[in-house]
């Protein structure tokens, strides 16, 4: 999480057996209503892979697959609160605060240029 790729969201989309899926369109949104949503497509950064350079908090979900079938927020899992300044609970979950107090972990988030690995798996 800290120091890997400098505030990049690395996304992989796979089928139920783990095979990569190209052509899947992901929606990346920012909670700021003045920021436009962005769509990115898997396969651009390798089989089943896409990347997004984040500047703040992002939410990510599968918008549609290569056939055009729509999923959107109502039918896709959503990665919420993916943030360049990761929350302390994310740092703890990633093992970045081992041996640190809660206060030390909270302070670490401001020195961490967070990156995320997200995996979306189709369930059929």
Q: What is the CATH number of the domain that holds 14?
A: 2.60.40.1120
Q: In angstroms, rounded to a whole number, what is the distance separating the alpha carbons of residues 121 and 102?
A: 33
Please tell me the predicted confidence (pLDDT) of residue 31. Answer: 85
Question: In which band, very low, low, confident or very high, does the pLDDT at 99 lie, cut at 50, 70 and 90?
Answer: very high
pTM, two decimals, is 0.86
Asked if the model's pLDDT at residue 122 lies above 90, the reply is yes
Do the domain assignments include residue 96?
A: no
Do the domain assignments include residue 61?
A: yes
Q: In angstroms, rounded to a whole number, what is the distance separating the alpha carbons of residues 44 and 26?
A: 12
Per the structure, the complete domain to which residue 15 belongs is given by: 8-85+114-121
Do the domain assignments include residue 81?
A: yes
Q: State the alpha helices, DSSP H only, in 43-101.
A: 72-75, 88-93
Do the domain assignments include residue 3?
A: no
For the chain, the domain total comes to 1
């Amino acid at each position: 999480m800290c120091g890997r790729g400098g505030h990049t969201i690395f996304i992989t989309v796979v089928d139920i057996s783990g095979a990569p899926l190209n052509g899947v369109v992901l929606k990346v949104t920012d909670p700021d209503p003045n920021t436009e949503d962005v769509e990115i497509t898997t396969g651009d950064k390798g089989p089943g892979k896409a990347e997004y350079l984040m500047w703040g908090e992002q939410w990510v979900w599968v918008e549609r697959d290569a056939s055009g079938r729509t999923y959107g927020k109502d039918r896709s899992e959503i990665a919420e609160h993916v943030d360049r300044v990761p929350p302390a609970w994310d740092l703890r979950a990633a093992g970045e605060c081992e041996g640190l107090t809660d206060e030390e972990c909270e302070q670490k988030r401001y020195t961490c240029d967070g990156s995320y690995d997200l995996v979306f798996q189709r369930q059929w």
